[in-house]
Structure 1
Amino acid sequence: MNSSSSDMDIDPEVPKSPSSPVCSTNDNLSSYDIGLFVQRSSADGINLIPGLQKKIWTPPDGYSFPASGPRNLKFQRSWLLTYSWLAYSEREDGAFCKCCVLFCARAGGVGRQTLGQLVTNPLRNWKKALDTFEKHNASEYHKRSLLQWSLRLEIEDENALSIDLQLSKQKLDFINESKLRMIPIIETIILCGRIRNCLGTLESIHTFFIYPKRQNALQDAINEDETLRESRLKKLKKFCKTRWVEQHESVATYLHLQPAVIRALDVISTTWKDPTTSSGAFQLLSAIKTANFQISMHILSSVHSLTLSLSRVLQSENQDLGEAIELADAAKQVLLERRENAEKDFRGIFKTVSEISAKYDIELRKPRLASKQTQRSNVQTDSVQDYFRITIYIPYIDLFLTHIQDRFLNHRKILSNFACLFPNKMKNFNEESCAQLFEPYSSILRDDSRDIWVDEVKLWRQRIAGKNVKNSLEALDVCNGDAFPNVHQMLRILAVLPVTTATNERSFSTLRRLKTYLRSTMSEDRLNELASLNIHRDVEVDPQRVLEKFFSTPRRVNLLYNN
């Protein structure tokens, strides 16, 4: 049974008045009067407005039911309490069975005769009302409608599955599996939100002190601190969103200058008369003096310091993918050790944060938690240290490990076949692995024969046997392209396999400096030559050879050139 509405709005359109007379002229007629749904087709019973069953209009206390007939009989409120399926229509001045109106077909009973009172027509004969109610309550079509009514209520209250899920176990299993897969995504988003909160505060602090007057206030606070007076760090660094080295330096610089930052913000918030600046300083100071910010910043500093050397190597030039994966593997092992000894390592971080909190009157406490979590389980601990270790420290290390695995270590399969070119990495030659390396690159090699390729690799391995060749760049220096053309081409492919986007970013930066709006119409040859001059600055250019090149082509230039 589908609990969602099809093409209906929240407020149903009032159907045309039926043939029976309308007894009420009330302008404030409820849009959920049961009489408005009598003219619905039987197929509409499964496409009801969500929550309609609980919205059916009920006469309020003190409502005066209109009298009719010579005896002035009228609808009795006690009937609504006796028969839960009964509803009164102010529009029709009559009684209906709300279950049958919404769910019953317009035919039923013996011989499938057309249904009348309480279903398609209102009951207004109050003298025989009780007998009619009892007879209707015992009918089979009413019992079926009552069952559908209760099933729909259970589905809307989430106490029962919808009919399509009850009939299709495969669909139900798919939904349950999707929910299980979404839980780690939700937990990751929550973790990133917590870490991102402190990074957003860090960016706001850097932006706040960009202005010269505020920067002078920070310099005064640094000079007043004896431990920071002789420090070479005088300014906060902007947090870079892409480079891990700059991220670590930004966090480390802030933690080093945090005493001066707190003092400067305190002075600005209490002594400066500008309301915008003083209120901004007070807000930043309030954000800094929270346990979540302090712990998150120290966790970032601790974890990023482990991968600092890896980040610097990855951003260097002429980086080999094989060496990058080895460094990433080493960083992963260190992080795994941190993960296994999380309780011991986080104890040191929490001790540092506790000392800072005691100095600046920062309360270390757990955030408020919901009494009943529906999407994930609460952390069952009363310790503040254990809470932050479980909710921030361990998940952040796990997230970092996942990133290293996805970005670097998944390339092992690509490099495993290239190992056949290096005897020190694959001591026993594997012909199958060598053939697998040949298949994807056969179209760009000089010889498209698999046997020629395997034999050439065997000769190449004998050529460099005993030499300490570690990577593709060193191998290219000793590889003769004429003697080993296919191996030489394969080594070039390995050398240009991208490690990170740093190389591409350098190219983009170079082109941004060259192709300005003044040079937007330059030819491709000129752009390539200017880029080569800009990138390869270590190559000395002989002006004499440039002049010879210039005069090698006839020109309409009245210049004399003598060799």
Structure 2
Amino acid sequence: MAKSCRKAISFFGVVQRIYVLFASSTKRWSVLLEHVKNLTVKLLSSTRWESRIKSIKAIRYQAPELRSALLSLSEDSDTEAKDRSDAKNLFDILGSFEFILSMVIWYDILFAVNTVSKKLQSPSMCIDSTLQQIEGMLSYFDTYRNEGFASSMIIATEIASEMGVETTFPVKRRATRKKQFDETDYNEAILQAEKDFEVNYFLVIVNNAISSLKSRFEELQSFKGIFGFIMSSETLKSLDSDGLKECCTKFSETFSLDGSSDVEINDLIYELTVMQSTLPDRSMSAMEIFEFVQEADCYPNISIAYRILFTVPVAVASSAERSFSKLKLLKNYLRSIMSQERLNGLATLCIEKKLLDQININAIIDDFASRNARRNF
């Protein structure tokens, strides 16, 4: 989305310029802190795109304060001429209604995407919950495509009124001359500029988001066709004998090799038939059904099917992002001659800290000390 059109690229370029202007000097940063009391501007990261929502949030809820900081910087005689010119340029950009509207739209979109992304990175996330989140995200974008521009216009108008900014879109200047009968007036030109912004900017990024979601998670839809019948108790109980047989046959053929299958198809059908009548009369997720199967301890093929379901990888973003953040802390200039083996070990300990906390370190230390105390033997 951030690279789908020229205006989107320009918008994030402005966000980055604001951070660079203040962060490149302690004096300019102190000017920022004098006007902005809560959230400071953030850097856009190429490896962690989640930084985009944090960068926009600082501007979205502090636009008047940030604009006053830029004005103060542009009028400071002790500041270099180049920096004053940049501050004045950014001050004018933040005072345009088009930028304010873009800010509101991007915050709405990235906040929704970031919320779902956090859930997908949860260690307890499984494929059925993932599909629900993705379908909910698609539904959100479909609704936002139809209603989001109007609601964003209302919010942007309120922010512009607070900042004293005109709520109009830039219109190309025309030479003053006699108006012909087939020419449009100025008000119609403003409406055309607003429509152009909606079609060539708003709809472009939303349509790009919808198409990206469908293409990136297309593989999960195929998993839904394989595991869909065991993802919830409602789906399982709704199947008749023919539908259950068809689903079990597809599952068995998917996980078969050289005539050997992970499950016995006939036993799986009968086990699911029995379990349909023994499941509690309440809505149960796949994990709750698996716990029920483990307690019953009489459905071996169903247990295998659920273990296969839960071992399907949903996302790898969590481990990748944690690796980037931990590597920066471990590989510093004081550890420049660290071996690769030691670096891998320290990174694993930091990333999997929850497992490390469950280990009795004192017992390991005593065992290690006893193995090196050779004189005592």
* TM-score, scaled relative to structure 2: 0.75
Superposition map of 1:207-222 within 5 A: 207-210=20-23, 211-222=25-36
Distance 2:312 2:173 in 1: 49
Aligned in 2, Cα 1:213/1:526: closer, same or farther, shift over 3 Å? closer
Superposition map of 1:144-155 within 5 A: none
Aligned pair partner of 1:202 in 9, 15, 19: 15
Contact 1:240 1:246 in 2 (8 A): yes
Q: Quick one: which amino acid aligns to residue 258 of structure 1?
A: A
Of 244-253 and 525-534, deviating more is 525-534
Q: Quick one: which amino acid aligns to residue 451 of structure 1?
A: N
Shift of 1:201: 0.7
Contact 2:100 2:160 in 1 (8 A): no
Q: Does 1:399 align with 2:208?
A: yes
Distance 1:219 1:525 in 2: 40
Superposition map of 1:299-318 within 5 A: 299-318=105-124
Q: Quick one: which amino acid aligns to residue 81 of structure 2?
A: P
Q: Equivalent residue for 1:541?
A: 360
Q: Quick one: which amino acid aligns to residue 199 of structure 1?
A: F
Superposed CA offset, 1:427-478 (max 9, x none): 2152212221222323599846443444454455566454643134x44444
CA RMSD of aligned residues (A): 4.0
Distance 1:525 1:364 in 2: 54
Aligned pair partner of 1:366 in 171, 184, 205: 171
Higher relative contact order (CA 8 A, sep 6+): 2
Shift of 1:208: 1.7
Aligned in 2, Cα 1:446/1:338: closer, same or farther, shift over 3 Å? closer
Aligned residues: 350
Larger radius of gyration: 1
Of 505-514 and 321-330, deviating more is 505-514
Q: Equivalent residue for 1:157?
A: none
Unaligned runs of 5+ in 2: 175-187
Aligned in 2, Cα 1:425/1:525: closer, same or farther, shift over 3 Å? same
Aligned in 2, Cα 1:447/1:397: closer, same or farther, shift over 3 Å? closer
Q: Does 1:494 align with 2:309?
A: yes
Secondary structure of 2:62's partner?
A: helix
Superposed CA offset, 1:57-105 (max 9, x none): xxxxxxxxxxxxxxxxxxxxxxxxxxxxxxxxxxxxxxxxxxxxxxxxx
Aligned in 2, Cα 1:559/1:259: closer, same or farther, shift over 3 Å? farther
Aligned in 2, Cα 1:390/1:487: closer, same or farther, shift over 3 Å? same
Shift of 1:217: 0.7
Aligned in 2, Cα 1:352/1:387: closer, same or farther, shift over 3 Å? farther
Q: Does 1:434 align with 2:248?
A: yes
Contact 1:446 1:486 in 2 (8 A): no
* TM-score, scaled relative to structure 1: 0.53
Secondary structure of 2:43's partner?
A: coil
Superposed CA offset, 1:386-436 (max 9, x none): 332233223322222223333346623312321322432232152212221
Aligned in 2, Cα 1:485/1:276: closer, same or farther, shift over 3 Å? farther
Distance 2:208 2:173 in 1: 24
Secondary structure of 2:5's partner?
A: helix
Contact 1:291 1:364 in 2 (8 A): yes
Aligned in 2, Cα 1:432/1:315: closer, same or farther, shift over 3 Å? same
Aligned pair partner of 2:42 in 220, 226, 237: 237
